Structures are given as structure tokens and as C-alpha cells.
Copies of this chain bind each other. A is one copy, B any other.
Amino acid sequence: MSSRYTVAELEEFTSAIFRSVGVKAEHSAIVATRLVEADLRGRTGHGLIRVGPYVQRIEAGGVNLDPDIQIIHETPVSAHFDGDNGMGQVVMTMAAEVAIAKAQALGMAWVGTVHSNHAGAAGIYPAMAAKRGLIAMYFAVANANGMPPWGGIEPILGTNPISIAIPAGDGIPFQLDIATTVASHGTIKVVAQAGEQMPIGWVADADGNPITDPARAHEGFLLPIGGYKGAGLNIAIGLLAGAMNGAAFGRAVVDHRKHLEVPTNTGQAMLVMRSDLMMPAEEALASIDAHLEQLRNSRTTSGARVRLPGDGAHAAEVENLRIGIPLPEQLRHSLNELAGRLGVVAQLD
């Protein structure tokens, strides 16, 4: 069972909750927008389900409520943002806006963050660029470790995600948003709650034996996609989003759900490019759209169209804008309870 809400309803409610725990009005609005975007696109694991844990961190003093977010180094094609331990969505939104503006001006740009925080679904930042006809890649150091480097047994790597958005003119944009591990803590929790076993390939112990009981997941390690290949991509992301920016990567990563009061020093990075670097934008975007359509219309066993990365998010967005964003009853209930406890008058009916 779930009820549906408009974007404005959920933004207003969410923003009110963050304001009530001391987040500036302007920042509360940005965090709300980014979280609702995730639910809008069907990325429910990074939507309003995160409001509770974020509030916990704020109440524990783990987030700076009055951060001096600033560019500490800048070139015409780049900017290094110090988030001053502010809300991750705020830091990354400011960084993405600067990357977009710089790319629009000069063709391409790279931004990196230090002292940022968990910024939600990886896909929402490249999506900001794609909506303006730009190509973007986003890299983040995950906010908890659980995987060793390939060949090792010390879990000092996280699910480090990469997201790539490539617009397609009037067509549905290509939008990839993936962890470089096969499973994440979130997907394992879903399996556990359903009382199911994990497939082989998600988690293994130090000797490489698969663990399939989600209750025993903590005894093992997350596995990378494609063995050493995904483990390598994972490290590349950590270097680009973490080490390059002076942000945490490796042993320095703080588990943001365990150590609520410790600043996470999260790092993110984002590349933005104009789509007309090779040929007029219209031509480039038409070429991309035609190639995506060829893939969607390629042969399948069932005769159904192939679903490409981003098609699901796009379909969810179209539907949810029309009939409202669904919130599961349990989440609605816990959000209303949280609002009540915080003295927020608004409720999700």
C-alpha cells in the first residue's frame, strides 16, 4: 500500500523537517529537491527513506548547519569545493551548477569536493547536466567500506558509484547510475527483509567462499563487478573523487551510519562536457538518439523492447509527475512520526 504525492508536497514537507533541526531554509530546500528527485525517478533507496538517517546525523552534531561552502581553488575549467561539512546535497548541487556553467562557457569542466557528505543518488547530478543538453560523469567515494582491493582481505573500499548521463535530443537520455560492487548494503537489506537468500556473487568470505545468508553478510565482503575489473574501477573512482580532492578514501572513510558525530569528509567529482565538442549539438544528439533507439529495437526473445540504462528512471519520472510519487505506508508513517517529534506541523495524509 502506498499513497501518492506531488513533488511540491514532498519538497515542502521534507524541507520543513530539515528546517526544524536547524538546517538553513535555502539548504533545506536543496536537500529536499534532491531527495524528492530520487523518489521521482524511482531510486527509492536514495529518496525520502534517507530523511530519518540524515536527521539522526544532524541531531548527533555530525553535520555543520552553518557551513562556509566555498571554492578553494579554481581555473577556467575546474573548481575545488570545500563543503565545510555541510549537507552533501547542498555541496554537490553548488559544485554541479558551477561545473555546468563552466562547461557551457568553455566546453568542459571538472569539479571536486572535500569535506562534503553523502549526497544521495549518484544519478541526480549528471541528470542536472543532461537536462541542459550536457554530457556528465559523476564519481563518489561511498560512505562506508565493505570490500577489500582485489587479492586482499581488508575491506577498505566502498560501493564507489559512477553515474554517466548522455542526452539524446528529443529522445530519452542515456543515464547510468551504478555501484562498482555487485550488491550494496541497501540491496542486501532488501533481501534480508524479504526473508530471501543472496545470489552467489554478492558476498564472499576471506577465502572466497560465497555467503548467501544475508544475516551472515557482515562476516564477508562485498564483491566487485567483474572481479579485478570492477575493483579497479572502484579504486579509480576513489582516487578521482577522494584522493585528488583531499577527501577520505580507504581507511579514512567514516561509516556515516555508525559514527553519527564524526565528520565524514566525503569526496565527489564530476565532469561536464558540451555535446557539441565534436559536431553541432543537434547532429551529435540525433546520432546518440539513433544509436540508443537501435539498441532498444534490437532483437529480444520476447519481442519486447530492450530497456536501456535511464529508461526506467525516465518512465518513473513521467508517470510520477502525472499521478504523484508513491510513498510506501511504512515510510509515510515514520516520516509523519518524525515530523511530530520535531514539532513540524505538516503531515503527509
Contact = CB atoms under 8 A, between A and B. Distances in A.
Contacts of A238: 291
Interface residues of A, number: 77
Contacts of A244: 275, 277-278, 284, 287-288
Given A156-B295, A235-B292, A244-B288, 4 more contacts: A76-B107, A148-B306, A149-B308, A246-B287
Given A78-B278, A80-B277, A150-B306, A239 B166 contact: yes
A73 interface: yes
A232 interface: yes
The complex is assembled from copies of this chain, and their number is 2
Contacts of A153: 299-301
A299 B152 CA distance: 6
Contacts of A290: 243
A210 interface: no
A235 B309 contact: yes
Contact of A236 (B109, B166, B206, B251): B166
Judged by DSSP, the binding face of A is mixed
A168 to B, nearest CB: 9
A135 B112 CA distance: 14
A291 B108 contact: no
B77 A106 contact: yes
A106 B76 contact: yes
Interface string A231-250: 01101101110111110011
A106 B110 CA distance: 12
A151 to B, nearest CB: 5
A176 to B, nearest CB: 4
B277 A226 contact: no
Contacts of A178: 226, 229, 232-233
Interface in A151-195: 151-154, 156-157, 162, 164, 166, 174, 176, 178-180, 182
Interface in A68-87: 73, 75-78, 80
A324 interface: no
Contact of A225 (B112, B164, B230, B245): B230
A186 B176 CA distance: 28
Nearest to A271: B271
